[in-house]
Amino acid sequence: MLKTVSVLVLCSAVYGFSLGLVHSLKFALRNLIKFPLLLVATAVVCCLAYHVAGRFLTAKLSLWDVQRLVVESFRDLALLLASLAPVFLFLALTLAPPNEEDLGEYPWFLGMNVLCISVCGSCALVRQARVLLHRFDLSLCRTAVIIGAWLGVSLLVGSQWAWYLRPFCGVATIDAPFILGTEPDYQGATDFFQAVHNLFDPPPLSAGYLRHVSGGH
């Protein structure tokens, strides 16, 4: 178990570093702590929530079974994200910066990271859950329901932890504290799901804000 957690922390730190470089070296170094913290905090909550959700559908899953599933799933997630770190490192250093007209390619970079984390997390959980549930000889329908419930829990818990612990990246000309907590983001979003909506249907930005992000006064 200790080796699994060590791999989780190391690989998530590698990915977090590449993510933070879109803003600055300071944000990249912060993410060496913050991104592993995000995954570990999410794993702790998910461990209990998965167990509760699983008990509604089968009495065969012990807390230890679920705990091992969660740790190994998040380790796999961290490994998948670490494999993408060189790609996002390249993008972070080459994307079009914000200007007085818009935010450049930053929203696209942010959206790609959200998508990759979601897909990698889903793949990691489904892989581990299928192995675990196969051992207990559960029906296909019951297995699908349990995995679906666990995916939903992961999305809710992980997204809200990510929102509270942000910023992991950001517009390079705007500094931010280590953790923003419940503060609205640069587009006025007050939770993770509103922020994702704003990536696809962004609200208008004020002229003063655009001058700020482009380094003007």
How much is the pLDDT for 217? 41
Higher pLDDT, 216 or 143: 143
Mean pLDDT of the chain: 85
Q: How far apart are CA 214 and CA 217, in angstroms?
A: 9
For residue 7, the model assigns a pLDDT of 96
Specify the long-range contacts of residues 87-94, CB closer than 8 Å, at least 24 apart: 88/15, 88/18, 88/19, 88/112, 88/113, 89/17, 89/18, 89/21, 91/22, 92/18, 92/19, 92/21, 92/22, 92/169, 93/21
**What mean pLDDT do residues 48-63 have?**
81
Q: Output 199 or 82, whichever has higher pLDDT.
A: 82
State CA 216 to chain mean position distance: 32
Q: Is the pLDDT of residue 104 over 90?
A: no
What is the reported pLDDT for 186? 67
Our separate counts of H helices and E strands in the chain read 7, 0
* Gap between the Cα atoms of 216 and 132, Å rounded: 55
What is the model's pTM? 0.84
Tens of pLDDT, residue by residue over 166-178, are 889 877 777 888 8
Query: Nearest CA to 74 among 32, 107, 116, 123?
Result: 123
Residue 79 near residue 40, CB atoms below 8 Å: no
Please give the average per-residue pLDDT across 111-124, as a whole number: 92
Bond prior to 98 in cis (omega within 30° of 0)? no
pLDDT at residue number 171? 76
* 79 pLDDT higher than 90: yes
pLDDT digits (tens, 9 = 90+) for 1-53: 789 999 999 999 999 999 999 988 999 999 999 999 999 999 999 999 988 88
Predicted confidence band of residue 205 (pLDDT cuts 50, 70, 90): low
Instruction: Report the pLDDT value the prediction gives residue 39, as an integer from 0 to 100.
Output: 95
CA triple 203-207-210, angle to 5 deg:
80
